[in-house]
Amino acid sequence: MTRVEELELAVEALPQDEYRQFRSWFLDRDWEKWDRQLEADVQAGKLDFLIQEALEGKSENRLREL
pLDDT digits (tens, 9 = 90+) for 2-53: 999 999 999 999 999 999 999 999 999 999 999 999 999 999 999 999 999 9
Q: Residue 26 and residue 10: Cα distance in Å, rounded?
A: 14
Q: Residue 22 and residue 19: Cα distance in Å, rounded?
A: 5
From the number of C-beta atoms within 10 Å of its C-beta (0-12, 13-18, 19+), residue 48 rates as: exposed
In this predicted model, which residue has the larger pLDDT, 19 or 66? Answer: 19
Task: Please tell me the predicted confidence (pLDDT) of residue 49.
Answer: 97
* For residue 63, pLDDT beyond 90: no
Say if residues 22 and 14 touch (Cβ distance below 8 Å).
yes
Domain boundaries, the chain: 15-59
Model pTM score: 0.66
Task: Please tell me the predicted confidence (pLDDT) of residue 28.
Answer: 98
